[in-house]
Chain A
Amino acid sequence: PFSGEWTHDSAFVAHGSITAPVNRKLEPLGPHFLAHARRKRHNRTFSEDDRI
């Protein structure tokens, strides 16, 4: 499924950035939100959180 001529120097090339995200409110319930709140409070990333 992937193809195309490769004309770049490096193996990765960035073309642009994502459309600006919109602020919305999460519903504070369920196990995944509680994990999200925990990460946010302790300023952890996903992978740091996975290790604990």
Chain B
Amino acid sequence: MSENPEVNVAEAEATPITIGISFGNSNSSIAFTSPDGKAEVIANEDGDRQIPSVLSYLTGDEFHGQEARNQLVRNAENTVAYFRDFLGKSFAEIDPTHSHASAHPVDADGKPAFKVKEKDNAPASTLSVNEITSRHLRRLVTSAADFLGKPVKSAVVTVPTDFSEAQRAALIKSAKAADLEILQTIHEPVAAVLSYSAKENHQPEDKTILVCDLGGTRCDTAIVAVRGGMYTILATAHDYELGGFKLDEVLVEHFAKEFIKKHKSDPRTNSRALAKLKLESEAVKRTLSIATSAPLAVDSLHDGHDFHSTINRLRFEMLSKKVFDDIVKLAEHTVQKAELDLLDIDTVILSGGTSHIPKIATRLAQIFPVGTAIHAPATDTAALNPSELSAKGAAIQAALIQEFDTEDIHQSEHPGVTVAPHLAAAIGVVVSPSADEAEGFHILLHPSTALPARGKAEFTVSADGDVVVKIAEAERYIHVTKPEPVEKPAKEEKDEDEDEDSDEESDEEEEEEKREKKWKVKGVLAEARLQGVKKEDKVEVTVNAAVDGGLNIAARVVGTQNGVRGVIKPSA
């Protein structure tokens, strides 16, 4: 009798758990969903939640995460970093730029690999990117299992939207070699959206979201349409020359110049000094996201000189203006790519480590209309930690599918299930008396809603008598109200005189013109009449759009049998 409970406890502990992993070039995170449904990011044994994707070898020991990253100064040639994007690629395809300060990728039968000295008295071994990934994942999984006290056998892993099938396959294969089954690979921006929709208890409103994933070595953006709780990516953009490393470079340059002024020698000419300055500059950058000034202190930086300095946030923002400009441009470009207007974006989610920088959030807020939610720590007090969004999203998905058969998961990823017809135009009710009036349109189904879909709304009747419900399609247009044309002549004169100044002024003028999003009714699809309706009665209108484009319409006076149903056939 007394043994039984113990056995049960042991069994419960042995039940494997599925975790979420965000695997980045610079940092990785592990997360799980607690039994009460909350996704949480796990700290590793160093106490880090953002675990550097770095492995290092010294005197026969393997170092991982922050410990490995610190070895970039004294043991750079045996330290492997920035390898995620090399997975599943040939040696010719990779961009080794970021590996210059650590172990260089070498060509091993056409595939990228790294040559590192694993043991002191042995020759250097050549480790494939797959092998490095396996070791990295194994360390992550061990940290998660130690924290949870349960074995971890499977995971959902986030990948960028431009990850090829070959890269996915290489990732799954590398995980398998580390005894980890990847149940699903999900896209980073959608994982970020999922983190936020979990906050709303998964009853998300229909929204069009711009996700800016601002990382260490790259920035990725995506427009995600949320319709009926389902996610469709409308456009993506990538910039591999943009990211936190650019800001580190800005700081390195700033501090190096200061050092040169004081000591007449350039610390950037020495690789060890440069590595030290890079690491410290990144720490300064992080501090500047939470404080308005940050100190820098490096003992014996170069030529035996110690270096102490401080920088304030304003100075940093001035020096980084170009990088911030590029991020704003990337965001604007993505919206254009989706053939949308900035006014179509309801929410901006900032994800990734670089999103902690306050100026980036405020700069993005400036291009969007007031009222667009910008989810970042600087602009939204309820914002989630941008560094944790991907991992949390993966953990949420992991909890949803961990009971499923692998076969079921793969089937649901099949194009037969994921490819669906999406509405080209909005469907709704014409509320205003004349169909030409743009304002009087109430949307039931937004454009880009996947079929089948259903939409429903209630309207209050304003007078006794018959009610005619008009179901129509509508198109969004941007209504521009020009500012008063009085100042025009004076401005043109100025244009000729001073070019740059007047450019700025005319920009300000343009800001004064009012741009609004409006709906134009394209055509009435159907009409329904309800007879004998009383003032203050509520009319409920329901549309059901079928996969073939057919439409089922029902209008009904709430609480009565008085109703009309009808069907619109799909176009031939």
Which positions in A face B, CB cutoff 8 Å?
Answer: 1-4, 6, 8, 11-34, 36-37, 40-41, 45-46
Contacts and interface: CB of A to CB of B under 8 A. Distances in A.
Interface in B139-173: none
24 contacts: A1-B462, A12-B564, A14-B525, A16-B524, A18-B570, A18-B571, A19-B473, A21-B424, A22-B424, A23-B422, A25-B419, A26-B230, A26-B417, A26-B419, A27-B187, A30-B194, A31-B202, A32-B202, A33-B229, A33-B230, A33-B231, A36-B230, A37-B417, A41-B412
B229 A40 contact: no
Given A4-B433, A6-B468, A31-B202, A23 B528 contact: no
Contacts of B440: 1
Q: Is the interface of B mostly helix, strand, loop or mixed?
A: strand
B232 A25 contact: yes
Contacts of B568: 14, 16-18
Interface in B527-572: 527-531, 539, 544-545, 549-551, 553, 564-571
B340 interface: no
B468 A20 contact: no
Contacts, number: 183
Contacts of A36: 230, 417, 420, 450
Contact of B421 (A16, A21, A29): A21
Nearest to B189: A27
Interface string B261-290: 000000000000000000000000000000
Contact of B529 (A11, A27, A34, A40): A11
A34 B233 contact: no
Contacts of A19: 423-425, 473, 522, 571
A19 B466 CA distance: 29
Given A12-B526, A19-B473, A25 B569 contact: no
B393 to A, nearest CB: 8
B411 interface: yes
Contacts of A8: 527, 529
B526 A15 contact: yes
A7 B203 CA distance: 42
A47 B194 CA distance: 26
Contacts of B412: 28, 33-34, 37, 41
